[in-house]
Amino acid sequence: MPEQKTNKLPQSFYQRPTLEVAPDILGKFIVYKAPSGRLSARIVEVEAYIGHNDPACHAARGMTKRNRPMFGPAGFTYIYFIYGMYHCLNFVTEPEGSPAAILLRAAEPDEGLEIMLRNSGKDSPRNLLNGPGKFCRAFGLTAEQNDLDLTDDVIYIEDRQEMIRNVQRSQRIGIKVGQDRRWRFYDGDSTAVSKGR
DNA sequence: TGAATGATGCGCT
DNA sequence: GCGCATCATTCAT
């Protein structure tokens, strides 16, 4: 038997303080077994949204139908619809009852490039996954993949033992409140991070 | 290369 | 009705 080099992250990875999980996710691989085939990408940019005291967090004003997954156990997807045309993928963190999640903002294509290009209507991998809306469009993720268990076999994160040499940190992008918190983490050596404003 | 703007629909007040 | 964890396009420099 060859040595197992890729491992699906367990629930215990997600069920930790969000600001510990967020930088740890960089360099891991998001895998989605789509109906059209297996897709994967190397995560290079994320943002943390944490609970009642974070005004930018969807859960800041209590539980609603939309943000319910954030209040559930760690290790589930939270996908929401925004601006009338885009979806964004989050990973729920912290124990049940502590609403928090990590937004996937950018990644580098790995497996299934042709499917991603087709989903996005592009002919080049340039700027394919460098934004939360663009990532979900390329992966074909919608509300149907909301609240899925990341320890199941449909969508999960793999650890391929890759190190990030240059973890950077900044303000979060695209929000009007909570700018004092520098909860955006990204791979400073990657050219695939989002553009910001 | 950067600023401004329109697209587009749902959840929440 | 309003605002939104976005993006592609347009226009100005």
* Of residues A60, A83, A56, the one with CA closest to residue A177: A56
Q: Is the CB of A66 under 7 A from strand B?
A: yes
Query: Measured between alpha carbons, how far is A65 from A195 in angstroms, rounded to an integer?
Result: 31
Name the closest nucleotide to A175, judged by C1' and CA. C5
Q: Is the CB of A195 under 7 A from strand B?
A: no
Q: What is the largest CA-CA distance in chain A?
A: 53
- Positive or negative, the CA dihedral A33, A41, A142, A156 is positive
| Helix%, strand%, coil% for chain A, nearest 5 | 20, 30, 50
> Which DSSP symbol is given to A58?
G
Q: Is the CB of A81 under 7 A from strand C?
A: no
Domains by residue range for chain A, with CATH:
11-187 (3.10.300.10)
pLDDT tens, residue by residue, A120-136: 999 999 999 999 999 99
Q: Is the CB of A24 under 7 A from strand C?
A: no
pLDDT tens, residue by residue, A50-101: 999 999 999 999 999 999 999 999 999 999 999 999 999 999 999 999 999 9
Q: Give the global pTM.
A: 0.95
pLDDT tens, residue by residue, A7-52: 999 999 999 999 999 999 999 999 999 999 999 999 999 999 999 9
Query: Measured between alpha carbons, how far is A130 from A77 in angstroms, rounded to an integer?
Result: 19
Query: Distance from residue A174 (CA) to nucleotide B5 (C1'), in Å?
Result: 16
Q: Is the CB of A63 under 7 A from strand C?
A: no
- Positive or negative, the CA dihedral A59, A65, A66, A71 is positive
Query: Distance from residue A106 (CA) to nucleotide B7 (C1'), in Å?
Result: 23
